[in-house]
């Protein structure tokens, strides 16, 4: 047994000194400008705007100061079905890694037997008892096992990054669905307020008709305007319900669970200072989809080494110890025991064509993974640039629409006064009413679009973890 121990003692040194087949992974290099180009020319960026850092990207939604939004996102991070599925994939990858790591260590088995028999057949019966153990250890001289572990480690990290990418998407989707729901609430209130005003106008017009100041045509037009505005309500209410359904699915709660919580209208956040200044381009390196693509390159490169290790022989050490005795009480007595230890080698020398083809296949996978990584980097830059320009221009549009709403409000108030005095026709009042409602609805649509552009920017930068 002392010899057996000495043989085993030098095996770790053999493994550690062994070479590693195939190339080593090299982290791909990023090539881009230090700042995003849109940011350099955006005239709307003024004072009091935030500096975007890795720290405030982690929980960017808290910058909106909306407790309901924070609650919804935190609930989604606990209960969203896609996130639960991603976590299960991470657990699978972790288990696969543990399986691969076990290949570095010896495997052992135990056996025992008991039988009764006679030889020759006509002699008396005799008992026989046996027990034994076997150990086998593949020495990873050429790194095939270590490369396979490297593949699994990279796959595990890729699965983690994928779960983070889903988290980033879910956070952004919840925020955008929430703001869209709030926008529909505001639009519904604006439309109802205008409907009340139009009904008052209709009543005034009927009274003026009764007094002989206007014709029946004005009364019909006033009624038609009320009906037109009233017909918008079912569409807005439907949009609200659909937005709420989408939000409940994202959060992972039963249908109808959020209606009471979100019943009270909440204004959209005023985000004039939310277009961040000085967005460093290297922030895209933290995007989980890019990190995942990088790990996939690593996995593919390690797979090349795993495939190339098949060119070389495999060496292992096997050892056995066994006992064979006619009396169970003497089972572990030295006189009935034996042991053996020795090396074993195997080499698939007649499968070279298959191995070469497999290496070429793995190298092609590496090429594909690198192209995919580059495409994701370019896509990330485009998404950030798009979000920046969209937010910048939408902010300009909001300022113009705000002016338009103020002017239309003044025009409508003046039209009511002039119409009551009989100084303008009803059609002039009708035009002013329509213009005010349309501009107010455009104002809400523009504000929610701007807010969601900001959300898209945080998502494009990998914010949310």
pLDDT at 222: 93
pLDDT at 7: 45
Best-predicted range by mean pLDDT (132-136, 221-225, 417-421) = 221-225
Residue in 272, 268, 289, 248 with CA at minimum distance from that of residue 465: 289
- Region 367-388 average pLDDT: 92
pLDDT at 114: 63
In the chain, what are the domain boundaries? Answer: 34-105+172-283+379-460
State pLDDT tens for residues 424-439: 999 999 999 999 999 9
Strand order in the sheet with 314-325: 107-117, 126-139, 314-325, 337-346
**Percent of the chain, pLDDT > 70?**
80
| pTM for the full predicted model | 0.82
pLDDT at 8: 46
465 confidence band (pLDDT: 50, 70, 90)? confident
Q: Which long-range contacts (CB under 8 A, 24 or more apart) does 325-330 make?
A: 325/128, 325/129, 325/130, 326/126, 326/127, 326/128, 326/129, 327/127, 327/129, 328/114, 328/127, 328/129
Specify the DSSP element, H or E, that contains 321: strand 314-325
**Beta carbons of 337 and 325 less than 8 angstroms apart:** no
Q: CB within 8 A of 417, min separation 6: which ones?
A: none
Residue 18 has pLDDT above 60, yes or no: no
Strands 314-325 and 337-346: antiparallel
Structural domain 34-105+172-283+379-460, CATH architecture: Up-down Bundle (1.20)
- Region 367-383 average pLDDT: 93
Average pLDDT over the chain, rounded to an integer: 84
Residue 36 has pLDDT above 70, yes or no: no
345 confidence band (pLDDT: 50, 70, 90)? confident
Q: What is the DSSP letter of 63?
A: G
State pLDDT tens for residues 150-161: 999 999 999 999
């Amino acid at each position: 047994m002392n010899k057996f121990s000495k043989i085993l003692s030098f095996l770790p040194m053999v493994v550690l000194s062994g070479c590693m087949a195939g190339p080593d992974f090299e982290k791909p290099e990023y090539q881009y400008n230090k700042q995003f180009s849109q940011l350099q020319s955006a005239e709307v960026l003024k004072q009091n705007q935030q500096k975007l850092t890795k720290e405030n990207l982690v929980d960017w939604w808290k910058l909106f100061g909306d407790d309901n939004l924070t609650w919804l996102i935190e609930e989604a991070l606990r209960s969203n079905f896609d996130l639960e599925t991603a976590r299960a994939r991470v657990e699978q990858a972790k288990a696969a890694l543990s399986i691969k790591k076990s290949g570095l260590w010896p495997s052992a088995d135990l056996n025992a037997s008991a039988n009764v028999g006679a030889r020759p057949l006509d002699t008396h019966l005799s008992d026989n008892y046996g027990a034994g153990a076997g150990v086998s250890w593949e020495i990873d001289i050429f790194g095939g096992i270590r490369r396979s572990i490297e593949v699994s480690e990279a796959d595990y990290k890729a699965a983690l990054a994928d779960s983070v990418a889903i988290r980033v998407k879910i956070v952004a989707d919840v925020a955008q669905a929430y703001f869209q729901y709030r926008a529909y609430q505001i639009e519904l209130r604006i439309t109802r307020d205008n409907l009340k005003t139009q009904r008052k106008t209709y009543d005034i017009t009927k009274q003026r008709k009764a007094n002989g100041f206007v014709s029946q045509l004005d009364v019909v037009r006033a009624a038609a305007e009320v009906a037109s505005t009233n017909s918008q309500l079912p569409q807005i209410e439907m949009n609200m319900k659909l937005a709420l359904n989408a939000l409940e699915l994202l959060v992972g709660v039963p249908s109808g669970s959020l209606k009471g919580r979100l019943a009270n209208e909440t204004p959209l956040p005023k985000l004039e200072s939310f277009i961040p200044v000085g967005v460093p381009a290297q922030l895209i390196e933290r995007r989980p989809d890019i990190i995942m693509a990088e790990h996939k390159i690593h996995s593919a490169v390690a797979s090349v080494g795993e495939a190339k290790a098949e060119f070389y022989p495999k060496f292992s050490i096997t050892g056995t110890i066994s006992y064979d005795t006619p009396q169970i009480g003497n089972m572990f007595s030295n006189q009935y025991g034996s042991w053996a230890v020795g090396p074993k080698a195997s080499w698939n020398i007649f499968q070279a064509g298959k191995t070469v083809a497999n290496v070429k296949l793995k190298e092609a996978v590496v090429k594909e993974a690198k192209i995919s990584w580059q495409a994701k980097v370019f896509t990330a830059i485009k998404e950030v640039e798009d979000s920046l320009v969209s937010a910048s221009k939408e902010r300009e549009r909001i300022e113009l629409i705000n002016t338009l709403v103020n002017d239309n409000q003044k025009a409508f108030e003046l039209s009511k006064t002039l119409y009551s005095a009989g100084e303008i026709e009803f059609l002039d009042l009708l035009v002013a009413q329509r213009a005010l409602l349309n501009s107010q609805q455009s104002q809400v649509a523009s504000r929610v679009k701007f807010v969601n552009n900001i959300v898209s920017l945080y998502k494009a930068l990998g914010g949310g973890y």
